[in-house]
Chain A
Amino acid sequence: VIAVEHLSAARKPEFLSRLSLNWGPGVHGVIALPSDGVRLLSSVLAGLVRPASGKVTVLGASPSSPHVRRCIAAIPVDVSLPSRLNVEEIFRVADVLRGDSALREPVERLTTFGIERLLRRSVRSLSRAEVRAVAIAEALTAPSVKVLIVDDPLVHMEFRVVGAIPEALRSKSRDGCAVVVTTASLRDATAFADDFTFLRAGKVVDEMTSTSAASTFGVHGEMMAVMRNEPDARALATALVSEPDVQGFDVKLSSIVVRGNDPIALGRALGHAAIEANVDIVELSATPEASR
């Protein structure tokens, strides 16, 4: 789906040097700091910046060509949407531009992420986290999106959406979408990526799969917590974000699967998070090591 050959590009202060990558459907993590050129890579893959040399092919053509561009959704940390439109209008405009017809109503698509209350709000009145939540909800629910590029999906994100993101990204990739997640946090990346590309100073320094990353970086335990209901699970997920022993988690309806190095530390982290979120854990069980 995404093929990059000897890509070099520059946009002050970032640069990329002779990068070669090949990604198909799946969730691909790019681990790097912004100064390593990761934001520039996102812009190039989204067709917003033309490379100085090398070749970038997305869905078999240049990412800036209109018929490919409509299948790409790029969500940078500082994503901007037309500020004078309301959220419903954003979805309607995007549907037409992407060529998606007979889609579910915007309110249903927002309900998937628990942010339906934003429907009538003007983009101008939204916080940065809410704008990102709207953008990612649009991208994840649009069937025409075949390439999704998200910078730091758990950063500056509406708290109701954070817990649902890992599973939503994986679900999108199972539909044949190539999801590229860029982040500086290996812990965040292990929560959703199938493979990892390490970028330093504009160059690829290492590539590995999730299994090898798990053994290298010590993701050895998984625990499942069952909550009373879905809102409780989301509240617990929000509290888990600040727990240092939790390396990743998935929210599925009213249950949460957390991953980390040490099962005892995971149990402690779940306890802390439950107290912080003021929710009750109905059932807690250890599950076998993550297998994707």
Chain B
Amino acid sequence: MTFAGALTRPAMAAMSRSPRAWVACLAWTAIAVASAVVAHRDHWTHGADLILGNVYGALVLPLVAYAIVGAALEEGPMVGAANRLASLGAAPSRAVAATLVAAGIVCALVAAAMAALVAVLAHGSADPPVARDMTTSATVGALGGLAYCAWFGLGAAFGRRGGGRWLFLLLDWAVGSSGGTLALLSPRGHVRNLLGGAPPLTLSERASAGSLLAIAFACLVFVTLRARMGRLN
């Protein structure tokens, strides 16, 4: 086992062995798939566009990321994840970073696979060619998954029991849907822009993709620094 493997092992085990997270992911996947099947059956011309933007990006992606981050943190606060690894000799900042990176990888992979599946199943006659649409959707899903993971990770750094994660979910809904300046700060507006919806402040798709990466990086750095400064609890 490598050092990085040892650091990420508890989070990976927590995600893969958590029935609650599996049930949540499967339930949200079922909703996305059912919507895509309905769009395909009723011959929606922009089926993939509509389902990806209004069901996958708006509802399924954030909630799947929320469930995965919750599983990685054992449904507790970020300080709990840091302390669990610190008990075994890890520095809290490394423990936090490793937990978020592990959760980020899983979120990105799951979100990309779901986006690709929805793009294929809901594909309509006016949508871009299916292969290209699938690749683009998977990339957007992966970026969104990464950003949401770090976003909820930051949320879990607040509150005695990690209640900030729930608050950040509401904040993303409230702020990200507005389309104003504040929408730039949460992942929702950027994911919507990349999935063909209205951009926040007329931002280009390339800028939104960069913003999602920037949100992921900023949240990761902020949480890691808080852990390094002993300010997680």
Contact = CB atoms under 8 A, between A and B. Distances in A.
A73 to B, nearest CB: 7
A203 B26 CA distance: 54
Interface in B65-101: 74, 80, 82-94
Interface residues on B, range: 20 to 34
Interface stretch (B8-16, B118-126, B198-206, B212-220): B8-16
Contact of B87 (A47, A64, A65, A80): A80
A97 B89 contact: yes
Contacts of A75: 87
A97 B85 contact: yes
B9 A69 contact: no
A122 to B, nearest CB: 8
Given A48-B86, A92-B1, A82 B13 contact: yes
Nearest to A93: B6
B132 interface: no
Interface string A136-177: 001000101100000000000000000000000000000000
A94 to B, nearest CB: 4
B181 interface: no
Interface in B218-233: 228-231, 233
A96 B230 contact: no
A110 interface: no
Nearest to B16: A84
B91 A96 contact: no
Interface residues of A, number: 36
- Among A81, A93, A98, A142, the most chain B Cβ lie within 10 Å of the Cβ of A93
Interface of B: 1-3, 5-7, 9-10, 13-14, 17-18, 74, 80, 82-94, 228-231, 233
B155 to A, nearest CB: 20
Contacts of B82: 48
A47 B10 contact: no
B77 to A, nearest CB: 11
A89 interface: yes
A64 B84 contact: no
A68 B147 CA distance: 32
Given A48-B82, A98-B89, 8 more contacts: A11-B233, A49-B233, A50-B230, A70-B91, A71-B89, A73-B89, A85-B9, A96-B2
Interface in A1-44: 11
